[in-house]
A and B are shown apart, each in its own frame.
Chain A
Amino acid sequence: MSSTRPTLALLTRSLQNLRVSPVQALQCQDLSTAAPQSSQPQKLKSVGRALENYLRNARNYEKMLAKEKAEFELGKRYLANIMGWDATSITQDDVDKAIEYLFPSGLTDLKARPVMKPPEEILPKFHKFEFDREGKPMDPLFFTLKPKFYGLLSEVGRKTQHLVRHYDAQVSRGAVPESEPLSLAGSAWISDVDLGRRLGENISPEMYAQLVIALDYLASLPLAIEVKDFIFQYRQAVVAGSNQAVLFGPPIPEVQIDPASNRRMASVVTRAKAVKVEVTVRDAGTGKYTVDGHHYDVFRSVMARENLASPLIATNMFGRVDIEAKVLEGPYGLSIVPRAVRHGVSLGIAALFPDAVEPLRQLKMLTMEPRRKERSKVNQPGARAKWIWKRR
């Protein structure tokens, strides 16, 4: 057949292949007869292997995350089907409870138990850096490897410089600037852990120290009040008088009124090792002290009775309170119930008599004993003990 006039599509396609300027191409009259350009098609700028890998990883991560998200959503619908819920209104709380019910686990490490959460929370995070078309990083501080942190440090430096210049300018004019000093009372610099989380970078102690030095200097400058907002972004409030409420273990309980006898009482559930006890302390008492219904002289060991009576001795509450303790969870040995009951009694007395809180706290009776029995490991007789080691 005779050669037809080249269509526009063919023209553009050949242009793309040749990577020549369209103007040059249009100047050709007859492309069918036009010889292929002598110069090879211009290749893309060759990128470093590291960047190639990074780009590949980023793409894969995006794909994987999209897939996991879809699976998670599908999984939630399946779960709704199993549990008989409405598929449209499912909260993460519901999902957690359902998983705990369907996959009961006795594993001691809570992080090892089965979990169904959105993939962003569980899967390892992939930090995307921003690059332009040519592969140059957008962030000028990219090559510091911690761009956000050094950006912050630079910001602090810039502000410091600005304040110093401003002050010097005013002084040179003869007007000493009067401004109220910046009050940093009731707050502390953001902790290194929190800062790391906020910036999304791992901050070493040395780096953190440098930042604190810089911020301290900025805050100490006479015109620091001008940058108050910036400084307070990096201050955390320290709650005054929080020692009272913050206890490890159950807090000091609320005082209630016993409806039967109209006396003030405080009830608390505490633990020690594997034993859970419920202790009720009542005001206006006669010194009654029962454990599981038995008067506490059933404890033949002096140490047990010392433990049980120690809160009374510490606060001199002999005969003023009635104590009733009940063991909720066993099994238990001989000496552990008094320890748990003692903690409960201390909390009860602290609730009923606020003056007693200080002496009890100083004797460390208000804190729960956090220790638990350590797990025995394989190939060992116990948790830490090893078999007798023989050199040969």
Chain B
Amino acid sequence: MALLPKSSVKTLFSATKTLTAIRPYNKAASDDPSQLARADLGKLYHIPVDAAKNLNFNKILPSKYAKQLNTLDECAILCRPQFLEVLHCFQAVRPTFPGIRVVLWGRFGTGKTLTLAQAVHYAYTQNWVILNVRDVMDWTRVVKDVQMSTYRTGRIDLPEHSVNFLNHFKQQNQHLWKTILTDLKTTKDYVWTKTEKTPIDKPLTDIVDMGLASPFLANDCVGALCRELRLHASSGALKLLVAMDAGNSLYGRTVIRKADRTFATTDELSLVQQFRKFFRDDWTNGLVLTIADKREISDAHIDPFIPIETQLYTEAEAKALHDYYKDKQWLVTDEARSEAGLKQLYYLAAFNPHHFERLCAFN
């Protein structure tokens, strides 16, 4: 029998050790977000990569986290108190309550967008219809083509943004495309133009396809889609999640200029008006989850809502992530992998999750 090389002997021994030893990092009991409870706080759970792909996580997650997802080929997210609160809000949704409005707020880098993504994934697992706006500030600050609305005079349509939104909606709800969204039918005739029309009792997917086919109708299609979804949610046929990043931008400022070279207000954008309707009490069985982004100067009137604050890391949370990075061999230097290194990283990051992640990526 050939002598085993020293290295493999070592790994054999260490393998037997780890079988009985503590796991490399703090894993949650289950990867199903609906099973997460207080016992799972400070632990990491995984979102399957194909779910992440289906939900277009590349576009909705913060850019650095999206890159990490691609690099590590894994989507591991820390379970933090704010997500559990959001889950409770999900569980409170019912046909007898009007749309529950939840606002995520907090310091820079504390996990607002990430919690939104977690909520979108939860809705995906629970077969909710997801209306996810990637960034409302895109609509107000990134001026693509602009068109005056034919539906209401004085309103401004944003065709390209509407098409992007419809594409995003289509991709995120692929799992329901052939089922709920085809089964549910339009409740009225939609006359887009003299020639284009979606009659009553057609599947909702037709509205989306119409908008994708003709960009100049896309904004009106978005409005119609929103209306239909509200009605069907109120009737109990579906549960609706409206997830908007930088939702306070619906009441903020725009950079879009009108014909007389003055800035338009958000009241004059049809997309904004369509989504503001979700903040009314006239529909039920849905959850409106928004983020109050500090970048925007806004005066939002969406009372009553549930505010959920996102916090800085505790030592335990930082340790859990540190162990995860160690396990993934993401930390470069020996000092960063040590206990003293963790303390230094934690304090250098000023307990901020964003800063902590950046420091771990470069140390």
CB distance A297 to B359 under 8 Å? no
Q: A305-B355, A318-B343 are in contact. Are A296 and B350 (CB under 8 A)?
A: yes
A182-194 vs B, Cβ < 8 Å mask (1 yes, 0 no): 0000000000000
CB distance B107 to A305 under 8 Å? no
Q: How many residues of B contact A (CB 8 A)?
A: 16
* B347: contacting residue among A295, A300, A302, A318, CB under 8 A: A318
CB distance B344 to A313 under 8 Å? yes
A68-82 vs B, Cβ < 8 Å mask (1 yes, 0 no): 000000000000000
B224 within 8 A of A: no
B109 within 8 A of A: yes
CB distance A297 to B350 under 8 Å? yes
Taking CB atoms and an 8 Å cut-off, the chain B residues in 338-363 that contact chain A are: 343-344, 346-352, 355, 358-359
Which residues does chain B contribute within 8 Å of A299, judged by CB atoms? 350
CB distance B343 to A295 under 8 Å? no
Instruction: Provide the bound-state CA to CA distance between A47 and B347, in Å.
Output: 84
CB distance A305 to B350 under 8 Å? yes
CB distance A297 to B312 under 8 Å? yes
A312 within 8 A of B: yes
Which of A287, A297, A312: most chain B Cβ within 10 A?
Answer: A297
CB distance B349 to A305 under 8 Å? yes
CB distance A287 to B347 under 8 Å? yes
CB distance A309 to B348 under 8 Å? yes
Q: How many residues of A contact B (CB 8 A)?
A: 14
Instruction: Provide the bound-state CA to CA distance between A287 and B314, in Å.
Output: 12
A300-337 vs B, Cβ < 8 Å mask (1 yes, 0 no): 10100110010011000010000000000000000000
Instruction: Provide the bound-state CA to CA distance between A299 and B352, in Å.
Output: 11
* A297: contacting residue among B343, B344, B352, CB under 8 A: B352
Which residues does chain B contribute within 8 Å of A300, judged by CB atoms? 108, 355
CB distance B312 to A313 under 8 Å? no
Instruction: Provide the bound-state CA to CA distance between A318 and B351, in Å.
Output: 12
A149 within 8 A of B: no
Instruction: Provide the bound-state CA to CA distance between A313 and B347, in Å.
Output: 9
Taking CB atoms and an 8 Å cut-off, the chain A residues in 101-160 that contact chain B are: none
Instruction: Provide the bound-state CA to CA distance between A318 and B349, in Å.
Output: 13
What secondary structure prevails in chain A residues at the interface with B? helix
Which residues does chain A contribute within 8 Å of B348, judged by CB atoms? 302, 305-306, 309, 313
Which residues does chain A contribute within 8 Å of B355, judged by CB atoms? 297, 300, 302, 305
CB distance B347 to A297 under 8 Å? no
Q: Which residue of B lies closest to A308 (CB)?
A: B350
Q: Which residue of A lies closest to B350 (CB)?
A: A297
Q: Which residue of B lies closest to A299 (CB)?
A: B350
Whole-angstrom distance between the Cβ of A285 and the nearest chain B Cβ: 13
Q: Which residue of A lies closest to B346 (CB)?
A: A318
* B107: contacting residue among A297, A309, A313, CB under 8 A: A297
Which of B346, B348, B359: most chain A Cβ within 10 A?
Answer: B348
Whole-angstrom distance between the Cβ of B251 and the nearest chain A Cβ: 25
Which of A305, A306, A312: most chain B Cβ within 10 A?
Answer: A305
Q: Which residue of A lies closest to B315 (CB)?
A: A319
Which residues does chain A contribute within 8 Å of B108, judged by CB atoms? 297, 300
B311-342 vs A, Cβ < 8 Å mask (1 yes, 0 no): 01000000000000000000000000000000
Instruction: Provide the bound-state CA to CA distance between A302 and B348, in Å.
Output: 8
Q: A313-B344, A318-B343 are in contact. Are A295 and B359 (CB under 8 A)?
A: no
B102-120 vs A, Cβ < 8 Å mask (1 yes, 0 no): 0000011100000000000
Instruction: Provide the bound-state CA to CA distance between A305 and B358, in Å.
Output: 13
Instruction: Provide the bound-state CA to CA distance between A83 and B351, in Å.
Output: 57
Which residues does chain B contribute within 8 Å of A309, judged by CB atoms? 344, 347-348, 350
Whole-angstrom distance between the Cβ of A275 and the nearest chain B Cβ: 20
Instruction: Provide the bound-state CA to CA distance between A312 and B345, in Å.
Output: 12
CB distance A289 to B344 under 8 Å? no
Q: Which residue of B lies closest to A287 (CB)?
A: B347
Instruction: Provide the bound-state CA to CA distance between A313 and B108, in Å.
Output: 24
CB distance A312 to B351 under 8 Å? no
Taking CB atoms and an 8 Å cut-off, the chain A residues in 271-311 that contact chain B are: 287, 289, 295-297, 299-300, 302, 305-306, 309
Which residues does chain B contribute within 8 Å of A296, judged by CB atoms? 350
Q: Which residue of A lies closest to B352 (CB)?
A: A297
Which residues does chain B contribute within 8 Å of A306, judged by CB atoms? 348
Told that A289-B350, A297-B351, A302-B358 touch, could you supply 16 new A-B pairs with CB distance under 8 A? A295-B107, A296-B350, A297-B107, A297-B108, A297-B312, A297-B350, A297-B352, A300-B108, A300-B355, A302-B355, A302-B359, A305-B348, A305-B349, A305-B350, A312-B347, A318-B346
21 residue pairs A–B, Cβ–Cβ below 8 Å = A287-B347, A295-B107, A295-B312, A295-B350, A297-B107, A297-B108, A297-B312, A297-B349, A297-B355, A300-B108, A300-B355, A302-B355, A302-B359, A305-B349, A305-B350, A309-B344, A309-B347, A312-B347, A313-B344, A313-B348, A318-B343
**Which residues in B have some Cβ–Cβ distance to A below 8 Å?**
107-109, 312, 343-344, 346-352, 355, 358-359
7 tightest Cβ-Cβ pairs between the two chains A and B: A297-B350, A297-B352, A296-B350, A309-B347, A318-B343, A309-B348, A318-B347
